[in-house]
Amino acid sequence: MPFYSGYIKVGLRNSLAISVASAALLATFSDGRFEEVKVACGAVAPTPIRMKQVEALLAGKRPSDELTKEAGSVASRECDPISDIRASRSYRRHVTGVIVSRLVAEAARLATEG
């Protein structure tokens, strides 16, 4: 069964620094559709969170640009970040949507290319 896993961290440095936001995605595919999807985000809530609404949105659907954009929108609404010295709440919400969209797009690309 084909699968994709990916991770994106947003921060001032790649290592030894607290993230502004991060996201990980694990997805399996069957017949060109997302089958099982797990999405988790860090630094956008009091503790790392599973993005259950994003997972439900993707499960069973064929990848598309529209679905990728919708996943990012859902992710930005599903997180509950704080403002601190590293980033504002609104920036964290925005960047969460961007990185989740990127992960979904990459998973979709690999799924459609075989």
Go through the domains of the chain in sequence order and give each one's CATH number.
3-113 (3.30.390.50)
* Long-range contact pairs involving 9-18 (C-beta distance under 8 Å, separation at least 24): 10/95, 10/99, 11/86, 12/86, 18/43, 18/86
With a cut of 90, say whether residue 18 has pLDDT above it.
Answer: no
pLDDT given at position 12: 78
pLDDT digits (tens, 9 = 90+) for 23-67: 999 999 999 999 999 999 999 999 999 999 999 999 999 999 999
Q: What is the CA radius of gyration of the chain?
A: 14
Virtual torsion, Cα 30, 107, 56, 65, nearest 10 deg: -110
Take residue 8 and report the two structure tokens written for it: 């994106």
Nearest CA among 57, 48, 60 for reference residue 96:
48
> How confident is the model at residue 54, as a pLDDT?
99
